[in-house]
Amino acid sequence: MPELVFFSGTMDCGKSTLALQFEHNRTTRGLQGLIFTRDDRAGEGKLSSRLGLVTDAVEAGPGLDLYAYVVGELSRGGRVDFVIVDEAQFLLTEQIDQLARIVDDLDMDVFAFGITTDFRTRLFPGSQRLIELADRFESLQVETLCWCGARATHNARTVGGEMVVEGEQVVVGDVAHSAAEVGYEVLCRRHHVRRMTSASARAGVLSPDVLPVSSA
């Protein structure tokens, strides 16, 4: 039976790499897929991995009806055996409903990849709807680590190395960024609550205000 499957994890855990692997494995078996993405780091209409892999994709902007797009491809004589969606957290809730309709009405597997919560630990609307509708929810097993070495469970947004907890839910950035840019970092819950990024942790260690404790 076709399924809507949601693969999720923190940033930098290999979601896009897995999406590309799914596409490769099925293509080598003679199947043809359709890839949607939204706000990929490589630019519009691209699905990219931090390992350097990249492929073309359909940009799933807020005005795109995903179900109608697939039906249009089929109506023009195209072949679509499966659908892959990367950065699925950025999709509108109605677009997630369209993915479910692709599964149910077109008998087609849909594999969605994304993160569940934003930098404020709030669910993305697209991810919430996927959790509500998906036939299967898969947590990726590639663990990412906080700067302290503990398992990273939360996504943090940084500006100039400092963690921020206010602002628009969607601001495109990356885990590799200069100090002046908007960036993202994965943290354990303890350090997310304390708003302690790797940069602020280093500053704390090097701060001249932190005096050594004398045993005298």
CA dist 140 and 208 (Å) reads 41
Q: Which two tokens stand for residue 126?
A: 């697209």
Q: Is 110 exposed, middle or buried (0-12, 13-18, 19+ CB in 10 A)?
A: buried
* Residue type for position 117: T
User: Can 181 be counted among the known catalytic residues?
Assistant: no
Burial pattern 18-41, b for ≥16 Cβ within 10 A else e, equals: bbbebbeebeeeeeebbbbbbbbb
Among the listed residues 23, 44, 87, 94, the single catalytic one is 87
Please identify every residue annotated as catalytic.
Answer: 87
